[in-house]
Structure 1
Amino acid sequence: MHPRPEPAARFARLAVEHPRLRIRVRPWQDADAPALAQAADFADVARWLRDRFPHPYGIDDARFFLGQVVPASAGAIHAVEVEGEVAGGIGIDPGSDVYRIAGELGYWLTPPRWGQGIMQRVVRHYITAMAPVLGLRRVFARVYEGNRASMRVLEQCGFEREGVERRALIKHGQILDAHLYARCFDDPD
């Protein structure tokens, strides 16, 4: 058995540089429930995420996430805060057994904050900070067919598209491809 470090204990806050906005990544708190429900309650957010991310997203969904999902996570799950308000989330779910050196990245941002260069900066800083804490050599993400904005974020952060998982998922009754992106930490930035 290979123990993992406690990510929340070793990663309190991360300031993210942006030319105009004050951005930070921090642990989720129970008091975030109302702000989380407000930021997440958009069909345009849920359409690019797994079905376990509900829409509509209400206060009970936020409380369940903060009270059950975050504490049970084997990886790192953090809030993205912009100008002092919850604006999204980011996390890495590490693999297990022989895959323990790789982790799957997931993130979302509330639509009113789209197009401001926020997630590109957050992802870059987050993976650089969290990969060593989690003992990862590789971080990967699966992006649903059609989500070009997320593909651009990953490409701008040094991820390479490794391939397409054809007919890999079903979302709203539609079978879609998943584009697999990865960044290895012996790769140049």
Structure 2
Amino acid sequence: MPTTPSPVPDIVLRRFTRTDTEFFSRLATDERVTRFVGDGRPWDSDFIAARVDSALGGLPPGHPEAKRWFIASLDDEPAGLVVSSRHDGAVEIGYWLAPEHWGKGLAGRMVARAIPAVWDAYGSIPLSARVDPENGASVRILTRHGFRPDGATPEGLDVYRLEHRSG
């Protein structure tokens, strides 16, 4: 008798808390995850602690350095991280997915959940994302969710932008 595949649990986003630091540290020290982040190297404990402190700083959403991080969970277990920070008239988003969840379509679902969550947090502001041109998977995910090319950074990263849309 054929079996029906069990449905993939849905991604749930919730605000990042200090108790998520261990999970974040696991991502930030995994060279597979950091390959397309910053200089591509895993982060050390001091840098991780500074980033967590900054993310939990509690600046109001209108502040030019406001940050909001979200944990993406599957069945109450952390699977990924969505980061957002206000920059130059837009909110930049980024996402990291734990390698054991790669190839399951979860990153796209994280971005789909992140867009309204970030707009809820910051208001009607354009979103941006910086992507290494070699990271084709992220380019496909962003364009599938309405992001459009919007130039490049001096460091050679492609910039994608999504204007706020109602509904």
**Fold match, TM over 0.5?**
yes
- Is the aligned partner of 1:24 residue 2:12? yes
**1:122 CA drift (Å):** 1.5
User: Relative to 1, partners in 2 of residues 1:33 and 1:47: Cα closer, same or farther, differing over 3 Å?
Assistant: same
Structure 1: gaps (5+ residues)? 1-18, 170-176
Superposition pairs of residues 13-162 of structure 1, within 5 angstroms: 19-51=7-39, 55=42, 62-66=48-52, 68-72=53-57, 74-95=66-87, 99=89, 102-162=90-150
User: Relative to 1, partners in 2 of residues 1:109 and 1:28: Cα closer, same or farther, differing over 3 Å?
Assistant: same
Q: Percent identity?
A: 26
Whole-angstrom CA distance in 2 between matches of 1:162 and 1:185: 15
| SS of corresponding position for 2:157 | strand
Relative to the length of structure 2, the TM-score reads 0.77
Whole-angstrom CA distance in 2 between matches of 1:156 and 1:57: 33
1:180 to 136, 159, 165: 159
RMSD of aligned Cα (Å): 2.6
Judge conservation of contact 1:80–1:89 (CA < 8 Å) in 2. yes
User: Relative to 1, partners in 2 of residues 1:35 and 1:95: Cα closer, same or farther, differing over 3 Å?
Assistant: closer
| SS of corresponding position for 1:182 | strand
Note the alpha carbon deviations across 1:101-160, whole angstroms, 9 max, x for none: x21111111111111111211112211232143123310111012000110110111111
Whole-angstrom CA distance in 2 between matches of 1:71 and 1:54: 23
Q: Give the structure with the larger strand fraction.
A: 1
Judge conservation of contact 1:21–1:83 (CA < 8 Å) in 2. yes
**1:75 CA drift (Å):** 2.5
Relative to the length of structure 1, the TM-score reads 0.69
Aligned length: 154
